[in-house]
Amino acid sequence: MTMKRSGSLLALAVGIAFSSTAAVAQAGPDVKLTRLDCGIPQAPTDVNTRFSDTYSYPGVKLQFVYSCYLIKHGDDYMVWDTGQATSAGAVAPKVGLVELLAQLKVGPEQVKFVGISHFHGDHIGQANALPKATLLIGKGDWDVLTSPKPPANVNPQLVSNWISGGGTVEPVPLDKDVFGDGSVVMLATPGHTPGHHSLLVKLPQKGAVILSGDAVHFQENYDGPGVPIFNFDRSQTLASIDRIKKLAANLKATLIIQHDARDVGKLPAFPEAAN
Min dist CB 53 to Zn ion, Å, is 15
- DSSP codes, 72-133: EETTEEEEE---S-TTSGGGS-SS-HHHHHHHTT--GGGEEEEEES-SSHHHHTTGGG-TTS
Instruction: Name the minimum Å distance from CB 223 to Zn ion.
Output: 19
Which listed range, 14-22, 196-204, 206-214, 258-266, lies at the site for Zn ion (CB under 5 A)? 206-214
Q: Is 220 one of the binding residues for Zn ion (CB under 5 A)?
A: no
CA distances from 163 to 38, 134, 160 (A): 23, 12, 5
Q: Which is nearer to Zn ion, 120 or 176 (CB)?
A: 120
Interacting stretch for Zn ion, rule CB under 5 A, among 64-72, 101-109, 167-175, 207-215?
207-215
Does residue number 214 form part of the binding site for Zn ion (CB under 5 A)? Answer: yes
CB of 118 to Zn ion, least distance (A): 6
Q: How far is the CB of 261 from Zn ion (least distance, A)?
A: 16
Q: Are 235 and 192 in contact (CB under 8 A)?
A: no
Of 32, 72, 73, 120, the one binding Zn ion (CB under 5 A) is 120
Give 214 or 260: the residue with its C-beta nearer to Zn ion: 214
Which span (11-19, 114-122, 199-207, 267-275) binds Zn ion, by CB under 5 A?
Answer: 114-122
Name beta bridge partners: 116: 137
At 10, the amino acid letter reads L
Q: In this complex, which beta carbon is closest to Zn ion, that of residue 64 or of residue 77?
A: 64
DSSP helix, strand, coil percent of the chain (3-state; round to 5)? 30, 25, 45
Cβ–Cβ < 8 Å for 35, 267: yes
- Least distance CB 132 / Zn ion (angstroms): 26
**Total of residues contacting Zn ion (CB under 5 A):** 2
Question: Smaller CB distance to Zn ion: residue 77 or 232?
Answer: 232
Q: Which is nearer to Zn ion, 141 or 214 (CB)?
A: 214
- Other beta carbons within 10 Å of 181: 14
For Zn ion, what does the binding mask look like between residues 150 and 169, x meaning CB under 5 A?
--------------------
Tell me how far, at minimum, the Cβ of 259 lies from Zn ion, in Å: 8
Nearest alpha-carbon partner for 95 in 32, 38, 138: 38
Cα gap 230→240, rounded to integer Å: 16
Q: How far is the CB of 14 from Zn ion (least distance, A)?
A: 56
Residue 167 or 228: the one with the smaller Cβ distance to Zn ion is 228
CB of 20 to Zn ion, least distance (A): 46
First to last CA, the chain: 52
- 3-class SS of residue 201: strand
> Which residue, among 26, 64, 37, has the nearest Cα to 219 in the 3D structure?
64
Of 164 and 235, CB closest to Zn ion: 235
What is the contact surface with Zn ion in residues (CB under 5 A)?
120, 214
